[in-house]
Amino acid sequence: MNVNLKYKNSVFSLLFNDPDILRELYCAIEGVVLPPDVPISINTLSNALIKGKVNDISFIIDNKLIVLIEHQSTINENMPLRLFKYIENVYDVIIDSKKLYKEKLVRIPRPEFIVLYNGEKQYPERKELKLSDAFLNIEGLTLEEKGNKSPILICETTIPHRISLELVVQVYNINHGHNLEILQKCETLNNYSVFICKIREYQKTGLALEKSIEAAVKYCIGNNILKDFLKNHGSEVINMSFLEYNFDDHMAVIREEAIEEGLEKGREEIARNALRKGYSFEEVTSITGLDLEILKNIQDRQN
């Protein structure tokens, strides 16, 4: 599969790269009202590659609140860590680093982290992800005190551990038919959801991916769904969507191959241990399913 793994833009970030649309989106998600005169400045990291991919949308509301919104078509439990890295880069851009060494407190916009999910796998209407969920368990960690050879327990399991660093992400399922209240309040997001839904519908009829995207664009223009946007960016949208869908497929293949590779390595490890303990080739084959030639090679490497 020939896939461009370094594409910098997406239909989502192109569509929502507008202060008025972002105002509508934020109000719909948070259930608040932002008057039109409240300034919104977009500061998405459009030129800063972070491990091959830029963040989707970053904007500041009235210089007080910085919002990072990521669009995901696959489930990713690592979004808190990814957004932690993104916000570090965003603050680097908007804060004069020289001020950090002065005595006076540097005031910074408070961050909020939002993920909008529209993948095909089942997902709840809303889910909260925390950076601390990824922290290693330190219960039972010990320390040897100077002059005392006996280790001293420094973490009691009965005492709640203090979390010194946290980042909370709100994930919303924006697939057509989910979170209706949000979609009803934000017409652009609702129309985007319909557009993605139509692509999948055409794919299920047997149309190739590129033809499905073209058909979805034509349908939406004909039904006044993202009409102006798709008329102005039609070919760009088709190319972006094709890359995004292929990227997701490509990553799914990589995950499947990794699982298969892991299973194969696991079977070989079991075979090595079994042969080392004196099991016959026939017995190991029945346990692992590996053929005789592979088992002989494993045994030769051990000898």
Contacts of 130 (CB under 8 A, 6+ apart): 80, 166, 167, 168, 169
Structural domain contains residue 267:
no
Structural domain contains residue 71:
yes
Distance in angstroms (rounded) separating the CA atoms of residues 112 and 86: 12
* Residue 227 structural domain: 11-134+166-259
- Measuring CA to CA, which residue among 110, 130, 119, 85 is closest to residue 30? 110
Structural domain contains residue 301:
no
Structural domain contains residue 228:
yes
Q: Per residue in 62-115, pLDDT tens?
A: 999 999 999 888 888 999 998 998 899 889 888 888 888 888 999 999 999 999
Distance in angstroms (rounded) separating the CA atoms of residues 182 and 126: 11
Lowest mean pLDDT among 8-12, 49-53, 84-88, 279-283: 49-53
Give residue 209's Cα distance to chain centre: 23
Which band of pLDDT confidence, cut at 50, 70 and 90, is reported for residue 2? Answer: very low
In which residue are the tokens 């869908």 written?
245
Structural domain contains residue 102:
yes
Cα-flanking dihedrals φ and ψ of residue 244, to 5°? -65, -45
Number of domains in the chain: 1
Q: What percent of the chain has pLDDT over 70?
A: 74
Distance in angstroms (rounded) separating the CA atoms of residues 57 and 70: 6
The residue type at 292: L
Distance in angstroms (rounded) separating the CA atoms of residues 61 and 71: 20
Both tokens of residue 138?
A: 């330190």
With DSSP H G I counted as helix, E B as strand and the rest as coil, what are the percentages for the chain, rounded to 5? 50, 15, 35
Distance in angstroms (rounded) separating the CA atoms of residues 107 and 282: 71
pLDDT in the model for residue 236: 78
Residues 4/10, Cβ–Cβ less than 8 Å: no
Taking CA atoms, 213 is separated from 187, 206, 208, 209, 240, in Å, by 21, 13, 9, 6, 10
The residue type at 271: A
Distance in angstroms (rounded) separating the CA atoms of residues 31 and 181: 10
Structural domain contains residue 297:
no
Structural domain contains residue 154:
no
Structural domain contains residue 273:
no
pLDDT in the model for residue 194: 94
Question: What predicted TM-score, i.e. pTM, was given to this entire model?
Answer: 0.70
Q: Which residues pair with 61 in a beta bridge?
A: 40, 65
